[in-house]
Amino acid sequence: MSFFRRVPGPALLDFLEFNRMRNQMEQAWRHLRGGIDRVRDSYSAGVFPLINVEEDDDSITLIAELPGVKVEDLEISIKSDTLTLKGEKRIDERPKEANFFRKERVEGTFSRSLTLPVRIDPDKSSASIKYGILTVKLPKSAEARAHQVAVKSE
């Protein structure tokens, strides 16, 4: 508050009025956009779907959240050391005259790629989806698995 004490009276009022108007404009803009920017940006920024990747001695397991994505709208591909998830999330069509109070559910295509930490055997890979959770099991290739080396006593 020491800043405000040094500013002459009329300048302080102009500053406070300007700040109030700016806050009102930002609030109106957020309301008009319906809070959808953050969610839509996650599609374009490549952070949808959210994933976890686990590793054990024999395999890599990818778990992805894909609510509302149908199996027929999902594609999983493996090329070299890169796994790619592509798909489309569709929302039931609403009449064009629908008047939304708030619209946060988004639809559209997505693509997310990640580099796998080890070589895998793509022919033995499998995927399943249940309740919107995709699980992709990626067995490690024989050369990527840990091997025990026997130690002999001499």
- At 15-63, the pLDDT tens digits run 677 777 887 787 777 666 554 444 444 444 445 788 999 999 899 999 9
Structure tokens, 69: 């994505």
Q: Where are the domains of the chain?
A: 2-33, 37-144
The tens digit of pLDDT for each residue in 85-122 reads 999 888 777 777 778 777 777 778 888 888 988 889 88
Q: Strands, DSSP E only, in 6-149?
A: 51-55, 59-65, 74-79, 82-89, 108-115, 126-130, 133-139
CATH fold of 37-144 reads Immunoglobulin-like (2.60.40)
How far is it, in rounded angstroms, from Cα 15 to Cα 1? 14
How far is it, in rounded angstroms, from Cα 16 to Cα 149? 74
> For residue 92, which amino acid is it?
D
User: Residue with structure tokens 């939304």?
Assistant: 100
The enclosing H or E element of 24 equals helix 9-33
